[in-house]
Amino acid sequence: MRYVNAFGDDALGDLDAVALVEALRAGTVSRAELVEAAIARTEKVNPQLNGLVHEAFDVARKQANSASSHGAYFDGVPTFVKDNVAVAGMPTLRGTDAWQPRAEAADGDFAKEYLATGLIPIGKTQMSEFGFSAAAEHPRLGPVRNPWNTEYTAGASSSGSGAFVAAGVVPIAHANDGGGSIRIPASCNGLVGLKPSRGRVPLDADLRQMPVGIVANGVLTRSVRDTAAFYRELEKSWRSPKLPPIGNVESPGGRLRIAVLTRSVIRDCSPEVKELTLKTATQLETLGHRVEYLDEVPIPKSFVNDFVLYWAFLAMAQVRMGPRTFGPSFDRNRLDNLTLGLEKHAVRNLHRVPLAIARLATLRRHTARMYRAHDAVLMPTLAGETLRVGHLDPTADYDQIMGRLMEWVAFTPLQNATGEPAISLPLAQSASGMPVGMMLGAPLGHERRLLELAYELEAASPWPTINTAQQKPLSDKLTGG
C-alpha cells in the first residue's frame, strides 16, 4: 500500500508545529481540537502503520481541556514519546516483551523538559528491542511500516515516531539516537532529524551511566523550523553550560567549507545513493559553498569492531541486569535474536571491551582534524535505499541480522561515538519513490550551523510530504539535488 495519509480537513490540517502555535494564539483552533484530531488520525492509520505501543488518549484529552495552561510555546500541540523514556502513568517497555509492563510513577529527566515545552503526549510509539535494530519488527506486535509504502520499514529505533509524523498524525514527536535512531527514520520517512551534540539534551539516569554517551534525545519533524523551534524552547528551561547555545535560528547563515563523503569506514554507498549525494553536493556548490570531495572517513578501521563490541556490551548489561532493572517478571527467553546475539558477542570478547571503550572515547581527535579544514561534512544518511519489511527480521540468525544491519547503517554511528551533531534532511528520492536522507555533520556544539544550512537547502529544494507527493506522478517528484 502506497501513501498511508492521515492529513485531512480538521484542526491539524497540513500545518507544522509552528503554524499550529500561530493558529492557537490566533484562536482559530483550540488545544482540545488539536488533540482530538491527532487521536482520530492515530486511529485511522495505526492499523496500517502499527506505530502505537501505548495510548494515552483520555489523559491527553483531560490535559487539553484543562483550564490551566503551561504558558509554554508549544502548549496544546499533540505529540508522541518513544517507548524508552519514563513518562508518568505510562509503561516503558523498550520495544520488548521480556517483562510485565508497569506504569511509571514520575516523568524521567528528559520527559520533564520535553513536556515543559507544552507538548501534549497522546501515547508512546513502538521501537526495536532496546533500540538495537534499525527496523522495528516486533515478533508479537508486528513491524512498523513506512507510510510512503507499507512494504518498506519505517526505520528504527524511533520507528513509530517517524511513521506518525510522516503520515501527518502529529507534526513533532520524540526520538532518540544511539547509532542513528533519529536520522534513520528521518531518512526512511522523509523527515528532518537532528541528532544533537552530546550533552545538549537531558537524558534519563540509566543513559547517563553509559561509559561512552552514545545516546542523544531529540525530535522528528516535517520542517526545519519545527526542529529549530524545539531546541530554542528547550534551552529556555534546560541548557548545558559546556556547549554554546543554539538560540533562535530562523534563516540561512554564511558560506561554508563542506567535505563530501560517499564511503564510510565500512563500505561505499550504493550507486544510486552515491549519485543522489553528489547531486546534493553540486547543489551546495551552486548555493555558493566550497565543496571538497574526500576519499573516506578519517577514522581508524578499528572503529567498526569497537562500536559493535560496545553495543554488545550494552546489550549484555540489559540482559544480565534485567531482573534488577525491570523486576522479577523479566524473562531473557522472550528477547529477540539480535539482543541475545549481541550479548553472546560481548561475553566472548569481554577482555577487549576496555580498549574498545578507550578508543571510542578518543575518536573525536580524528574527526577534529577533518573539521579544522571544513565547517561541515555531507554524507548519505544510509548506505542504500530504505529496506523492505522482513530484511532485518529479529527472529533470523544473528549473523544474518548483523551483517545486513551494518551494511545499511554504515554512516550514522560515527557521530554517536564522537558526540558531534548531525542532521538528516529529505533532500532526495529513490527511483522507487522512497525518501532518501542526506546527512550533514558539524563539530561539537555547532547545531546552529547545521540548522542554518538546513534552512537554506529546504528553501532551495522544498521536499514533499505524503499528502503533496501522492497528488503527483512518480516521474514528477524530487529525485535529488
pLDDT digits (tens, 9 = 90+) for 77-111: 999 999 999 999 999 999 999 999 899 999 999 99
Angle between helices 303-320 and 398-408 (to 10 degrees): 130
Write down the pLDDT at residue 480. Answer: 39
Write down the pLDDT at residue 469. Answer: 85
CATH classification number, 17-476, choose in 3.90.1530.10, 2.40.50.100, 3.90.1300.10, 3.40.50.300: 3.90.1300.10
Active site residue 157: yes
**Which residues, other chains included, contact 45 with Cβ-Cβ below 8 Å and sequence gap of 6+?**
4, 5, 6, 147, 164, 167, 169
The single residue of 82, 124, 187, 424 carrying the catalytic annotation is: 82
CA–CA separation, 393 and 391 (whole Å): 6
C-alpha cell of 316? Answer: 549484555
**Which residues, other chains included, contact 245 with Cβ-Cβ below 8 Å and sequence gap of 6+?**
235, 239
pTM: 0.96
The single residue of 181, 197, 223, 270 carrying the catalytic annotation is: 181
- Dihedral pair phi/psi, residue 460, rounded to 5°: -75, -35
Please give the single-letter amino acid code of residue 155: G
Active site residue 82: yes
CA–CA separation, 94 and 321 (whole Å): 15
The single residue of 124, 128, 133, 157 carrying the catalytic annotation is: 157
Contact status, residue 131 vs residue 82, Cβ threshold 8 Å: no
Write down the pLDDT at residue 296. Answer: 86
Each residue of 410-441: pLDDT tens digit? 999 999 999 999 999 999 999 999 999 999 99
For 185, 272, 397, the CA distances from 162, given in Å and listed in that order, are: 5, 23, 27
Each residue of 30-44: pLDDT tens digit? 999 999 999 999 999
Which portions of the chain are predicted below pLDDT 50?
A: 473-481
Write down the pLDDT at residue 67. Answer: 72
Active site residue 66: no
